[in-house]
């Protein structure tokens, strides 16, 4: 029995180690897809079309400007997810305490006894792997080997966990990826018609092959990313995560649902100027713990605009 448990733990360790190595390859894969797409759209098709004159030049210019703008936002969002810590639990973290009653806040914990037991009705949780208390909505990531605040999932595409502090960047990455891949798919359609026409096929076999490859890759990414984007928009609207949506299943009223507007602001901040860029205003950064649901006042009042 002991050997079986040891073997299972070793298999999990090997699996998590493999995921870490796979993540580095996935970053290269993302950059490779971007590189092939850039070569096809800019250098092979629409770049040379700028010198054709007339309407073709105007269309090429419009496609290239929009392509580069979306590409900048896509890469900015992507590397923001990769490089931003999703949120770690400090060893000194303790549940908020109501000073008047001398009790832990109900949203964080209600009983300090028997922490290691972690029964289903226990508010305060304890991570046996990290050997520390776990805040609400916090989960342990076996790949990263630590507890992550408001963890959504571990994403091998970004070699990082998606959690409280980079969830906005992840959604923006999906959003701009969908727009960019959709633009590329539609912009390459006229160039692919030549393959099925009776006239002379422009370009070399190599350029036609890379154009077809870029079209297939971007179409596949557009369709798959669209499904993920819709799913995460629904999660944001309900103020839940992928893990929580799976765990709560058919629970009646989600305790962190503050209404769609405030649920959205918890992820994207309250400053509308920053909603579509992977950054937060100084004011949002100052109130970040509250916006992300990481801290609650002793008597939470979620109906007010000011947390």
Residues annotated as catalytic are: 155
What is the C-alpha separation between 115 and 123, in angstroms, rounded?
10
Considering Cα of 280, then 284, then 287, then 288, what sign does the dihedral take? negative
What is the C-alpha separation between 178 and 167, in angstroms, rounded?
17
Q: Give 50's Cβ-side CA count (13 Å radius).
A: 12
What is the C-alpha separation between 303 and 307, in angstroms, rounded?
9
Q: Give 226's Cβ-side CA count (13 Å radius).
A: 10
User: Which of 218, 213, 141, 143 shows the shortest CA–CA distance to 178?
Assistant: 218
The 3-state secondary structure of 92-130 reads: CCCCCEECCCCEECCCCCCCCCCCCCCCCCCCCEEECCC
Report the Cα 170 to chain-centroid distance in Å.
2
Q: What's the Cα-to-Cα distance from 18 to each of 26, 143, 159, rounded to whole Å? A: 12, 9, 12
């Amino acid at each position: 029995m002991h050997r079986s448990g040891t073997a299972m733990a070793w298999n999990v360790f090997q699996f998590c180690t493999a995921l870490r190595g796979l993540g580095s390859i996935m970053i290269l894969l993302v950059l490779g897809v971007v590189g092939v797409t850039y070569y096809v759209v800019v250098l092979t098709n629409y770049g040379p079309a700028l010198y054709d004159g007339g309407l073709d030049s105007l269309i090429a210019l419009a496609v290239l400007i929009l392509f580069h703008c979306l590409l900048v936002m896509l890469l900015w969002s992507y590397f923001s997810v990769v490089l931003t810590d999703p949120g770690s639990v400090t060893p000194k973290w303790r549940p908020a305490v109501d000073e008047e009653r001398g009790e832990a806040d109900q949203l964080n914990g209600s009983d300090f006894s028997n922490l290691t037991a972690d029964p289903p009705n226990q508010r305060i949780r304890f991570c046996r792997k990290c050997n520390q208390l776990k805040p609400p909505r916090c989960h342990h990531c076996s790949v990263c080997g630590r507890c992550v605040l408001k963890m959504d999932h571990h994403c091998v595409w970004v070699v990082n966990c998606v959690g409280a502090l980079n969830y906005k960047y992840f959604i923006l990455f999906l959003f701009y990826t969908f727009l960019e891949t959709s633009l590329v798919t539609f912009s390459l359609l006229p160039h692919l018609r030549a393959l099925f026409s009776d006239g002379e096929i422009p370009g070399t076999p190599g350029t036609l092959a890379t154009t077809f490859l870029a079209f297939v890759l971007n179409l596949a990414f557009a369709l798959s990313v669209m499904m993920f984007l819709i799913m995460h928009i629904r999660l944001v609207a309900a103020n839940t995560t992928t893990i929580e949506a799976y765990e709560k299943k058919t629970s009646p009223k989600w305790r962190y649902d503050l209404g769609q507007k405030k649920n959205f602001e918890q992820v994207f901040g309250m400053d509308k100027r920053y909603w579509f860029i992977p950054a937060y205003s100084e004011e949002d950064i100052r109130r970040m713990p509250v916006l992300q649901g990481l801290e609650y006042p002793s008597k939470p009042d979620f109906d007010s605009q000011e947390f």
